[in-house]
A and B are shown apart, each in its own frame.
Chain A
């Protein structure tokens, strides 16, 4: 591997790191945060992130149980085959998402109330 290839790889690393940092910095704000649940692009529900709450979302494809507690949102249960959403880290910063692909469900932290 040549020197310029190492530079390209360092460049790619920098792009992703700066991108992640920028994402958190730009979206950081003092506004109250909410959790938005969408199914196929349509908003299903919005909850304040500050209030503990558990709700199950069910449709023809299956069900997902979302738990909001201590300022973080987490998918605690799902009846999909892969359970990827359940394995996703709890989200608490604006822009972070939990996605359940089989059920086409997206949970996202947004700024502002509802």
Chain B
């Protein structure tokens, strides 16, 4: 199998896994009265994809996951907010990875990704309902994003470590990174 086809297989696997994680996440709502608060399970895949395929292909993974999940188990509205959060979070995580490649851990990238995911969603919501009074709401989401971001980051790191022992990524010509 040539490397282009191999990339496509990995890409499809990521989309499928992210979609399943979105579904699992929709089944376990957090017992908190803060609307829109989520664990962010699909971000495990976004992180792994970012580290193995780079940002252009990860952008495809994120967009495909959001649209598919939105049509399958979200309301039509959820797509717009997920896009706002997903894209801003991907942008920030990509930039962090680009500029601090060897100085930053997956865990910290994940925490920043979680916070900016919420920020993106709140910005879209503020534009849609035309209000500026969502700051307090964002601060609550940010507080919650720190532990969930840590959890997702640790999970992604362990997943990368385990997958690194297999030959799955061998054909992707990954730069060696701890």
Given contacts A5-B104, A17-B143, A41-B130, contact A102 B136 (CB under 8 A): no
The answer to whether B75 and A81 touch across the interface, beta carbons within 8 angstroms, is: yes
Q: Does B71 contact A (CB under 8 A)?
A: no
User: B129 and A88: CB pair below 8 A?
Assistant: no
**Cβ-based interface call for A104 (8 A):** yes
CB distance from A114 to the nearest CB of B (A): 17
Interface string of A98-111 (1 = CB under 8 A from B): 01011011101000
Q: A84-B36, A87-B33, A101-B125 are in contact. Are A95 and B105 (CB under 8 A)?
A: no
- Note all chain A residues with C-beta closer than 8 A to B75: 80-82, 102
A8-B108, A9-B150, A20-B143 are contacts. A99–B136 as well, Cβ < 8 Å?
Answer: no
Residues from chain B with a CB closer than 8 A to the CB of A13 are: 143, 146
Given contacts A101-B125, A101-B128, contact A12 B115 (CB under 8 A): yes
Residue B140 at the chain A interface, CB threshold 8 Å: yes
Chain A neighbourhood of B140, CB < 8 A: 16, 20
* Bound CA span A7–B138, Å: 22
A93 to B3: give the CA distance in the assembly, Å. Answer: 58
Question: In the assembled complex, which residues on chain B have CB atoms less than 8 Å from the CB atom of A104?
Answer: 128-130
The answer to whether B146 and A16 have CB atoms under 8 Å apart is yes
Residues A40 and B129 in contact in the complex (CB < 8 Å), given A12-B111, A23-B136: yes
Given A1-B105, A99-B125, are A16 and B139 neighbors across the interface (CB < 8 Å)?
Answer: yes
* B143 lies within 8 A of A97 (CB): no
User: Digit string of A1-26 for contact with B (CB within 8 Å is 1, else 0)?
Assistant: 11001001100110111011001000
Pick the contact of A12 from B77, B131, B134, B146 — CB < 8 Å? B146
Residues of A within 8 A of B (CB): 1-2, 5, 8-9, 12-13, 15-17, 19-20, 23, 38, 40-41, 80-82, 84-85, 87-89, 95-97, 99, 101-102, 104-106, 108
* Given pairs A1-B108, A16-B142, A23-B135, 6 additional interface contacts (CB within 8 A): A8-B108, A16-B143, A81-B76, A97-B136, A99-B35, A99-B137
Kindly list the 9 A-B residue pairs having the minimum CB-CB distance in the complex, ordered from nearest: A41-B130, A89-B33, A81-B75, A84-B35, A16-B143, A16-B142, A19-B139, A5-B108, A106-B131
